Structure 1
């Protein structure tokens, strides 16, 4: 599961899943440690379930008095998220994204409306970030093999794949998507999880539930105030394992973090992490982690990646331009930069 040698090290998906389950069994998922603690402090009933989905551990929590409604809400949330995963995973051969990729440079591909919506949202974030967020980076990510033990891409293949990166290679016509160049590959890993979380919350709300939280591997959206009047979410320190850097208070908000510590390998003494700069195809330097707070998880998910790639100066400038968005950036030296309004969400 966890493979290590002097030249290569990566935390692969199996190891990350195992690690999260161990944390669940001992002290609870770190990003939810305070949420779990609050159970004993209030008589409100809390119902939860955890499943493996989208390559990570997903937990759905519902707070209420009706167990039947709560259990149905949880199942409906998972069904909604599983549907998004089936549509948008590039690890499933029959997904819409895989079909789009196979047809690159050759044909228009008819896809589900949710796929159209996410691709349009992705293009929007590409535009406002000057290409720092770009879902056409899939071919380069594949070369690094981050999901296994990791590897340095072969030079010619790398250069060719980098030349194919560019969100302007995507054309949408009604319910059809075409990639204009053969070899272009989409990867929605920086946005689909957030979109799935939002769909899970929508499914919960349809059951009349107003107090819930969905956590997909640390990307979180909470509605209402939890069991004890507050959803408390811990932001992990990017270099000190198990240590919290900040604690956030969420109500009807989402939070997502992108970090260079989540998926990486080491070769020649250098860390190669999975947050790649679309302009170069290389791992982004200058930042250890970015945490974004926004109303919807699809936005916090995409922005966490975009801001990470932009770097602390341009990234914070983007955060400050956007309505109802706040952020925390930790740079490569460990310096923490807070957006102007984030103090309203930090628990002292």
Structure 2
């Protein structure tokens, strides 16, 4: 199963379903195209995979990239010319950060690195508490960044951008744009648990499953309609154990420590920025925890959302409850208006 989300409506016979998989953004990606000839599907999927690789190379946080070069300039207190595409991304990410009251904060890449998550393989590490306090006190924010005539500069040298909570969603939207331009009317794009749907899987909607955060297999399933995206943030993919404590890559910018007490958050989005929202908008809910997630969902305009807390209890909105079918029929989620 692909992490976080799995494609449940696989080939059940001789249906014209083409699937291509790859590994980019540090995760598995899958492009499924229905109802087209194999050469046409292969060409379309190949173009999407090339776009994913281009974005991966552009936005890598700890290998040479346009983003890492910008981070180096920020650390030196210098400005740097950046591409129009990156300008638009940073402006969008800054707006989402403001909307979330800083709970979605791509400027804390220094903290992510301090905890050892800027690596392809990360090892258990306990950062020095003084260093953590210094990063929190420095308070890097997206609002520290100014962009004038294509040159970006930060008033705060501690700003280190990590777009790991934005890039996958942006890539989903780009993939959907490319596929639609090629006349593809039915496809499902999956980037490590962020999934976007185009059209239908033949006569039925695309059906996807939400990965159980502690067991193999799906926690629940739902039909994904045209233009909808679903995204899950969890503590079960990028994490390490130190003693009996799980430390995940989702860091609370207020404390400087990895968020605990939440196993997963899933959000359902739609519209022109469905991909970006499925990725970025789930983070404030996760960081807000079981007590604050519902208010955070309201801030991010997410009527359809679900949180699995540290004990495995499921909390979800009424709107998402209407869409989900739980694998375990005995699950009794806590529905919050």
Given the two structures, how large is their TM-score scaled by the length of structure 1? 0.85
Report the equivalent of 1:80: 51
Look up the SS of the partner of 1:189 in the other structure. Answer: coil
- Find the partner of 1:343 among 315, 321, 337: 321
Aligned to 2:329: none
Is 1:158 the equivalent of 2:132? yes
Contact 1:69–1:207 (8 Å) recurs in 2: no
Is contact 1:145–1:151 with CA below 8 Å preserved after alignment?
A: yes
Contact 2:267 2:302 survives alignment (8 Å): no
Does structure 1 residue 70 correspond to structure 2 residue 45? no
Deviation at 1:30, TM superposition (A): 7.1
CA contact (8 A) 1:125 1:306 kept: no
In structure 1, distance between residues paired with 2:4 and 2:254: 34
Q: Is the 8 A contact 1:46 1:63 kept in 2?
A: yes
Distance 2:114 2:301 in 1: 36
RMSD of equivalent CA atoms = 2.0
1:49 paired with 2:20, answer yes
CA shift at 1:200, angstroms? 1.2
- For 2:67, the equivalent position in structure 1 comes to 97
Residue 308 of structure 2: aligned partner: 330
Question: Take 1:167 and 1:205, find their aligned partners in 2: how far apart are those partners?
Answer: 32
> What is the match of residue 40 of structure 1?
12
Instruction: Report if aligned partners of 2:100, 2:300 keep a CA contact under 8 Å in 1.
Output: no
Alpha-carbon contact 2:4-2:232 (below 8 Å) kept: no
Paired residues of 1:231 and 1:249 also in contact (CA < 8 A): yes
Assess, with a 3 A threshold, how the Cα gap between structure 1 residues 90 and 285 changes in structure 2: closer, same or farther. Answer: same
Q: Alpha-carbon deviation of 1:168?
A: 2.3
2-side partners of 1:344 and 1:223: how far apart?
A: 21
Is the alpha carbon distance of 1:180 and 1:309 closer, same or farther for their aligned partners in structure 2, counting shifts above 3 Å? same
Q: CA separation of 1:142/1:225 partners in 2, compared to 1, >3 Å: closer, same or farther?
A: same
Name the CA shift for 1:29/1:46 in 2 (closer, same or farther; >3 Å): farther
Q: Quick one: distance in 1 between partners of 2:105 and 2:4?
A: 29
Q: Say whether the 8 Å CA contact 1:234–1:245 is kept in structure 2.
A: yes
* Aligned-partner SS, 2:305: strand
1:231-242 correspondence runs (5 A): 231-239=206-214, 241-242=215-216
Q: Structure 1 stretches of 5 or more lacking a match? A: 1-22
- Give CA deviations for 1:186-230 in whole Å, capped at 9, x if unaligned: 100011111012111111111000100111111111111124512
Question: In structure 2, what is the Cα distance between the partners aligned to 1:31 and 1:167?
Answer: 30
- Give the distance between the partners of 1:210 and 1:101, measured in 2 at CA: 39
Q: Report 1:276-315 matches (<5 A).
A: 276-295=251-270, 296-315=274-293
The structure that is helix-richer by fraction is 1
Structure 2 unaligned segments of length 5 or more: list them.
Answer: 327-337
- 2:6 and 2:22 map into 1 onto residues whose CA distance is 15
Structure 1 residue runs of 4+, over 6 Å off? none
Indicate how the Cα distance of structure 1 residues 267 and 98 shifts in structure 2: closer, same or farther if over 3 A, else same.
same
Match of 1:163, SS state, is: helix
Matched, 1:207 2:182: yes
Give, in whole Å, the separation in 1 of the partners of 2:316 and 2:200. 24
Alignment of 1:256-295 (within 5 A): 256-295=231-270
| Other-structure match for 1:149 | 123
Give the Cα separation in 2 of the matches to 1:276 and 1:322: 19
CA displacement at 1:128 relative to structure 2: 1.6
Distance in 2 between residues matched to 1:125 and 1:340, nearest whole Å: 24
Secondary structure of the 1:59 match is: strand
**Cα 1:61–1:243 shift into 2, 3 Å:** closer
Conserved? CA contact 2:231–2:279, under 8 Å: yes
- Show CA shifts across 1:23-76 (max 9, x none): 5xxxx777224122xx216x5411111111111111111112322221111011
* TM-score, structure 2 as length reference: 0.88
